[in-house]
Structure 1
Amino acid sequence: MGGALSLTLVALAYPAMLGVNTVSSAPTRVIANTQWGPLTEADRDFVVKVRAAGLWEYPVGQIGLKKGASPAVITASKHLIDGHAALDSTVRKIAPMLNITIPNQPSPQQQGFINTLNADSGKQFDTDFANILRVTHGSIFNTIAKIRSTTENTLVRILANQANATVLDHITVMEATGLVNFSQVLFQETTPPKLPAGDLTPPPPAAGQPEVVLTPPVNSTTQPPVLPGESPSGNAANPSQTPTVG
């Protein structure tokens, strides 16, 4: 489990590494001026990061529904699916509005998490599931707070609000399994290993490839927030405006 936790943390500790495109070392640099406010590199990378997180955590939730050996893991799996479907709905709406390219696949490292949990069974699955996901969500918590407190972009702020509530919920249900090794989780969160950028970056979508949609469950209890210019039904009142790239 230690190796899987080490790999998990590094993806979330360095969100800039998750951008589809190469980024500079200045996350506060404004890369576009939009009708919703300036968009920085950090803002752009955060949107990509939320998308990438859903592309591996949503299928892990589906795996958990099938392989979870305890009721608490089954419950946590339902929360993963529900929460990431709603987050992904928001990401897929705001990405074209902000002219952000989002991936259709998780990073190689994130796919490795899926493979690890696919190979687990029984109590080992439950333990790895709870601890890997507790590290992931615990690590991203600080990133969300920083984006929320610094972004000047209304759409990114809305996404950060939603992500904050979702991540806190997921932290709570992981801890409710009773399987989280807090000392190990804290170690993984504070001493991340270094991995090649290629392992941490989701591939860009192939030309003409249909956008992957994380479908909400039939009994979903989580609704995406209403965006500016959008009716409560989710229909846009205005077409999006393409930002000027700087």
Structure 2
Amino acid sequence: MNRTRLLAALAGAIVAVLALPALAFAGPPIPTQLSNADLTLLNGVRTAGLWEMPAGQMAAERGAHPVVRQIGATIAQQHVKLDQDVVDAANQLGVTLPTAPTAQQAGWLDEMRGASSNQEFDQIFVTRLRAAHGKIFPIIAAVRSGTRNEVVRKVAQEANTVVEGHLSMLESTDLVRFGELPPVALPEADIAGGGSLVQAAQGRAEAGSGFSPAVVWIVLIAAVVIGAANSYRVFRPRAAR
């Protein structure tokens, strides 16, 4: 009988200990307010579509190489859907999106229109789009991994797939001048922390999870000690009367 009661008490202590991490890991409710990163993604995807759709259409009509013409048509078509999805998401979230490309993006379109030959157009098209995709790709990945808004996460997931595909298509033309691409820019906070992307990711995960690993271990150890003490008091040998 004593052995049965002891096993039951130990089982209860184990269940209590296993339940503690779940309680410790539980963070605050997911906020509905959008972060600056969320807004940057929505605006960036929107303005990307506003200049890449006409750029892709120009490539489909003017490209010197069949591959460039096909890539241009595909990019324009895929941005039509992505643009509609980001507009729908913004309407759902109450966000006002840009209605025109940035001045820099408009300048790239003018540069394409002013190309002196179709061959020059191909080079400008690939160079500008490859650089632009490389710039927004890490932003999309960061928001995809860190946003707390489900609607934004879905947009980031779709944009990640689209942009990665566009990078591969543009690179397949053999017109990308990799030596002229801008260097990878890490966030200053990551560099200050030692420049390790792994360390930065771990730090962000801990910061956003609502718990401290040290606190979890302290609670676990305390629970085991208390459980052992209670079991000893219940089942310790009693002096004969």
- TM-score calculated relative to the size of structure 1: 0.60
Q: Structure 2 counterpart of 1:110, which letter?
A: Q
Larger strand share, 1 or 2: 1
Answering whether residue 161 of structure 2 is matched by residue 165 of structure 1, we say yes
How big is the alpha-carbon RMSD for the aligned residues of Structure 1 and Structure 2?
1.6
1:154 paired residue number: 150
Task: Please show how residues 21-60 of structure 1 align to structure 2 within 5 Å.
Answer: 34=32, 38-60=33-55
CA distance in 2, matches of 1:153, 1:75: 35
What SS does the aligned partner of 1:145 have? helix
| CA gap 1:162/1:101 in 2 versus in 1, 3 angstroms | same
Asked if the contact 2:134/2:167 (under 8 Å) is kept, the reply is: yes
Alignment partner of 1:85 is 2:101: no
- For structure 1, the residue ranges without an aligned partner over 5 or more in a row are 1-32, 192-246
Which of 105, 124, 130 does residue 128 from structure 1 map onto?
A: 124
Which secondary structure does the structure 1 equivalent of 2:34 belong to? Answer: strand
Q: Which residue of 2 aligns with 1:114?
A: 109
Query: How far apart in 2 are the matches of 1:190 and 1:112?
Result: 23
Q: 1:74 aligns with which of 45, 69, 77?
A: 69
Paired residues of 1:75 and 1:173 also in contact (CA < 8 A): no
How many Å separate the matches in 2 of 1:108 and 1:138? Answer: 19
Match of 1:29 in 2: none
SS at 1:42 equivalent: helix
Deviation of the 1:189 alpha carbon? 4.1
Poorly superposed stretches of 4+, deviation over 3 Å: none
Question: What percentage of aligned pairs have identical amino acids?
Answer: 38
Measure how far apart 1:137 and its partner are: 0.8
SS in 2 for 1:39: coil
Distance 1:170 1:74 in 2: 14
1:183 aligns with 2:179: yes
2:155 maps to amino acid = L
- 1:85: how far off? 0.7
1:11 alignment counterpart: none
Q: Cα deviation per residue 1:165-188 (whole Å; 9 max; x = unaligned)?
A: 000111011011111111112xx2
Q: What whole-Å deviation, never above 9, does each CA across 1:112-140 have from its counterpart, x for those lacking one?
A: 01000011132111111111111111121
Q: How many residue pairs end up in the alignment?
A: 155
Larger Cα Rg: Structure 1 or Structure 2?
A: 2
Shift of residue 86 of structure 1? 1.1
Distance in 1 between residues matched to 2:41 and 2:161, nearest whole Å: 16
Paired residues of 1:135 and 1:189 also in contact (CA < 8 A): no
Q: Report the residue type matching 1:178 in the other structure.
A: D
